Every structure is written in structure tokens, then in C-alpha cells.
A and B are shown apart, each in its own frame.
Chain A
Amino acid sequence: MKLNTLILSLCGASAFAFAAHAQSITIATVNNGDMIRMQKLTDDFTAKNPDIQLNWVTLEENVLRERVTTDIATKGGQYDVMTIGTYEVPIWAKQNWLLPLDNLGADYDVDDIIPAIRGGLSADGKLYAAPFYGESSFIMYRTDLMEKAGLTMPDAPTWEFVADAARKMTDRANDINGICLRGKAGWGENMAFLTATSNSFGARWFDEQWKPQFDQPEWKQTLEFYVNLMKDAGPAGASSNGFNENLALFQQGKCGMWIDATVAASFVSNPKDSTVADKVGYALAPDNGLGKRGNWLWAWSLAIPAGTQKAEAAQKFVAWATSKAYLDLVASKEGWANVPPGTRTSLYNNPEYQKAAPFAKMTLDSINAADPTNPTVKPVPYTGVQFVAIPEFQGLGTTVGQLFSAALAGQMLVDDALKQAQDAATATMQEGGYIQ
């Protein structure tokens, strides 16, 4: 047992030595390109703030979400800055788990943040998270294949046009699929796409009394449209395709169209990764003439948990990472094309950025076309375009996503999937006390 004690105390000593830094803040981030770039540029921050040391925790999206949510719900106090999305911010702000960002510095220029994004990150008029990058979704299409099909893509197409074009572009013999869409189950995977799409079909998750709406014709129309389109013009095995899988397909020239996150544009237009870099066009997500388009709104944002002891240092970091100066820093080191997009209006007015990013205007238009507080045709009691900002949505969205994924895979009929979705949603809402 002596050895045992010795080891324990030794490790204790070393652990203590690590923790002894006076002002080190721990930042939880997601492992995507823009965040990793920020990590590499932190010398700039530490040079300006020599008394603050940064510890990074980089995790894949799902694990990150699970970790930070557990930590904040238990007040574990492991992080001083958390990377969270537009889904979490309103929920956590309501629980008083986040500190309002009211001390971002004189030159921060809060009003420069794109209004749609800012609205999604505020509660009661206070900003609770600062956007690091924002995205919407739009159509990326192959200009050459579109031409071959004898069609011209309008800037703002309808679903009818897109479905028609997809079927015409499909060329099974040459392994070209007219359209690639998400099918992998998950509230942030297929349900992000399908919920946004359903808005353009006039569907909604809940009515004003929080009654689930999967038994309504709009949802049936949405799901049937999607399943049929994917059957005719989608890739094989679409039910396990998420962002990455579709990106790979598109980059290899196997998709005629792809509706997904606007950040994908910088991947597909980069000749280093993409075989079709010079043949990509962009258009707004389709609509059905009902006044809403099928595009979403998302922003990875930096927030400060209420329990932190180092709020001031954390706020300094958040201000640095989401400032205009940071955009200039990235531009000077890595070029304008690599600047995190979708957060500041001034970026889109910058001619150098417009030149470096041909998809800039379409991105901004897409972001502006999304309205988190009024997402679909009929009124709803929730905020969020491709999600419903209630705590139950992660679980419910994933359950429904699994059902819809099974419908896409042909393992389940559309009607059965909708019926089960309705049942699951009803049970969830009863349990959460929204409905009786």
C-alpha cells in the first residue's frame, strides 16, 4: 500500500503544478478548420495579453456537445469559454447558465454582427454568445452538368425546378447523381436539412399550443418529396450520408447538386481538394412559392459559462477571437478566402473578400433569408430555423431523424415514419410538460 500512496501523492503534486497557473483559461472548441486555425493564431492574443494562458480542448462535434452540456448542467466548472451553437444559446441563457457579453471592448462594434445571427444569439436584448463563424445553407451545383441537361439555374430556384433538374442530371451509368442530400440520422444531420426544407413546404414542428404536427399534410408532402427525389436522383446508400460523405461525393464529381452548409463552398471551390473546383455555381435554397426558403442558420459561437472564476480574461479572449481585427489577422496570414465567414456585415462589404470568395454574396443573402424567430409559414411558439430551441429537441430530433433515415433507406414507409414521429413527439412534449 505504501507504493500506492507514493504514486498517488506524486501524481497529485504534478497535477497541482499544472493547475497553479494564475490566469489560464480553458477553451472548449469543435475540431473544424476555422477553429483549428484560430488555435494556431493564438500567439497574437498571448502577445497582447501576456498574463493569460490558453488551454485548448478540441473535440469532435458530438463529444464536445455532450461534454460541455454535462459540465454546464452539473456546474462542473471545467471550462471558461465554450464553443456552442445557435441551438444552445437561447436555452442556456434562459437557465442563467451564461454570462451576458457586455464588456467586449470599445472597438468591438457589436452592431456590425449580421442581424439574423445576432438575433439568434441574444435573449432579452442581451448578447450571450459571440459568433465565431456563421453559416446558412444553399445549393451548390455543377455548371457543366446543368448546361449539359439544357437548363439554367436561377438565383432563387423552386423545388420543382430543382427536382426536375436533379432527375435530368442523373446519369447512373457514369455514376453521376442529380442531387446529394443529407440522410444520416441526427438532429444536426438529416433533421437540420429536413426541418429547413419543411419550412419551405409550410410545415412546422409544433403549433402554437406545442402540439406536434407530423400528422399534417405539409410534413407528408415534405418527406414524400424528399424520399422520392432521393430514390430517383440520389446516391446509393444516402441514408448514411452526412456533410462529409456528401462533400466527398461532390468533390469527386458525383453530384449534380448539393444543398448544404455555405461553408462547404470554400471546400468545393478549392482546387487542392476538389476535382470540380472550377465548375461550381451557387444558388439560394429552393422554395415552393410560400414565402419561405429551405435554408438554415447556424453560428458556432463562443460563450462564457456563469460559473467561471475568470470571466474577465474569458471575455477578453472572446472579444479577440470574434473581432474585426481577427478577420484581418487571418487574411494577412492565410488569405481572405480562409477568413471565418458569416458573422460581420463589414466583411461582406470588403471588396478584397468579395474577390477571394465568389460565393460571398450568395452566403450573405442566404443568411439574411433565414429568420430564426419566424422560421416557417405558419406561426410557431419556438425559435430556430432547422431546430426547435427547447432542451428536448436533441433527443426528439435524433429519434425523428432515425425514423426519417429509415424511410429514406426504404426500411419504413413514409406514413409509418410520420406516425411514429408524431407519437414520439407527443410523448416527449407530454413528459416535458408542454402539453397535457
Chain B
Amino acid sequence: MATRQTRGLARLMLAPSVIFLFVWMIVPLAITLWFSFQQYNPLNPINDRFVWFANYVIFYSNPAFFAAILNTLVLVASVLAITVIGGILLALLLDQPMWGQGIVRILVISPFFVMPPVAALVWKNMILHPGYGVTADIARFFGLQPIDWFANYPLFSIIMIVAWQWLPFATLILLTSLQSLDGEQKEAAEMDGAGFLSRFWYLTLPHLSRGITVVILIQTIFLLAVYAEILVTTNGGPGFASTNLPFLVYQKASLEFRIGQASAGGIIAVILANIVAFFLMRAVGKNLDK
């Protein structure tokens, strides 16, 4: 049992992190909240004034708003689904004995090290470009019309890029988790004559649940904030087909300089993030306590 002295010390050690983060959170949040009640446009300050909830109303009645909310959720959910399922499959594959396992693993985790703007540029130009991208070359090789990914499947293309960036992370965590599975248990199950599928379903998957939880939790935080990939590739379009909430806020703030509306959008994004986090915690959080 910890003594009172060490408990006091523990508080003291925790304090810097909590205080710094609290200040870090509360100051911008307060300013954003304040701005969200203002009409504030530094480029055209003539009409700047306190407007109560007008910014929220404007933001809400923007035709892009619901599209953006939906796109945000679709983006997060799709990337999570792809990376978790893909990560499990890849982890199972990489867990097999093979030649050159070290190099394979290095190749698989590499996308995680690529900065988002570079990833987006590479995918946009080298891979998906309808004229000179590799996919266009492949299509032409088979005598097909190259697909213009960003025009016809804008959100899907972005999901693909983001999933590519996060698949390695999911794979690594799930692989580590998989490798911690007790070998004896596996053998026992094999001896019992359990087939691969039932072994996977009743033994492996429950064991991985903690890893999956971690992947979902960490990735959600980052995925809710995706914007660089959109900025580089589709600019939110065509129409609002690939505009998510951060990108909409970005447009308001950095393109239109409607700081009031952008702040209102920021507050809405925070609320959305917390709703997602709340359901996430209820759905998967208990896995973390085991």
C-alpha cells in the first residue's frame, strides 16, 4: 500500500501534465467559444459584432454541414473497418512462419512513417492520376478507360489514402497482440480438432479484442481530424462529396476568414468528437479494464 507521502508525491508528479494540458485546452477553447458568438471577419471588419448564436445557425443551415457530418462519420467508420479487418488479416498472415519476415514487416509498416501531405501527393499524382497514375496505366493495359478516382469516387479515394496510412499501425498492434497468445492454448485447441475458423472465432478474436479496442481508440482521435489529405487531393469536392467537418472549418477559417463561423464549427466539431468518444467508450472501453 502506498503511504500518504508517496501519494502526495504521486499527485505532484501528475500535476504538470494535468496543469499544462488543462491550460492548453481551456485557453483556446475559451477563445474559440468567445469568437463563436461574434461576427468576426478580419478581412472585412465593418460588420463585426456580438451575434449570439447566429454563427451556429449559419453553420447549421449551410448545405455542406450535414454532408460534412456524414462524411466525417463515414470516413472514420470506413477507415476503422478497413484497418481493423485488414490489420487482423495481415497480422494473421505475418504471424505465419516465412522467409524474410523482417523485411516484410519493414515494408508493411513503412506507410506509417510518411507525412500526410506527402502521402496525399504521392497517391494523387503517382497512383490515382487519371492520366499518368499507375492505376490509369494498368487500366489502359487491359484496354479499359482509366478511372478518375477523385472526381468519381472522391470520398472513397480519400478513405483509401488514409487507410493506407493507418493500416500499418493497426497491423503492428494486432500482430503484437496475436503473438502474445499462449502457444499452448493454440495447440490445445488444435489438438481438440478445432478448425481454423472456430479457433479464430473462439480463441484468437477474443484475445485480440483489447488490441482492436486500442486501434479504434487511437485512430479515431486522429481520423476525426483528417484534413491535409482532402486539401491536397479533392479540396472537398466535387460539390461537397469529400468535405468533412475539419475541412469545412478549415475553409471557413483559412479561406474565407469567417473566424466566428469557423469557431462555431470548431465547437460543433468538439461536441461531435465527444459524442463519438462517449459511445466509443461505452462500446469498447470496458475492454481496456480487463
Contact = CB atoms under 8 A, between A and B. Distances in A.
Contacts of B237: 184-185, 239-240, 401-402, 405-406
Interface string B50-78: 00000000100001100000000000000
Grouping DSSP codes into helix (H, G, I), strand (E, B) and loop, the A interface class, with mixed when no group exceeds half, is helix
B234 A240 contact: yes
Interface in A375-422: 390-392, 394-396, 398-399, 401-403, 405-406, 408-409, 411-412, 420
Given A237-B152, A395-B252, A398-B251, A427 B58 contact: yes
B2 interface: no
Contact of A186 (B44, B235, B252, B258): B235
B238 A240 contact: yes
Given A248-B132, A409-B151, A403 B235 contact: no
B42 A240 contact: no
Contacts of B58: 427, 431
A252 B237 CA distance: 26
Contacts of A74: 42
A384 to B, nearest CB: 15
B236 interface: yes
A392 B130 CA distance: 33
A69 B256 CA distance: 10
A7 interface: no
A432 B44 contact: yes
A395 B63 CA distance: 14
A252 B44 contact: no
Contacts of A248: 131-132
Contacts of B42: 73-74
A394 B256 CA distance: 6
A424 B47 CA distance: 18
Contacts of A412: 239
Interface residues of A, number: 44
Given A402-B236, A411-B241, A391 B131 contact: no
B145 interface: yes
A66 interface: yes
A60 to B, nearest CB: 9
B236 to A, nearest CB: 7
A252 B63 contact: no
Contacts of A431: 39, 47, 58, 258
A70 interface: yes
A91 interface: yes
Interface string A240-280: 10000100110010100000000000000000000000000
Contacts of A185: 235-238
Given A239-B151, A395-B255, A398-B251, A432 B47 contact: yes
Given A70-B254, A245-B131, 7 more contacts: A236-B146, A240-B150, A240-B234, A248-B131, A409-B238, A411-B238, A431-B47
Interface of B: 39, 41-44, 46-47, 58, 63-64, 130-132, 145-146, 148, 150-152, 231, 234-241, 251-252, 254-258
Identify the 10 closest CB pairs spanning chains A and B, nearest first: A237-B148, A395-B256, A391-B43, A406-B239, A73-B42, A185-B237, A240-B151, A391-B44, A433-B47, A237-B151
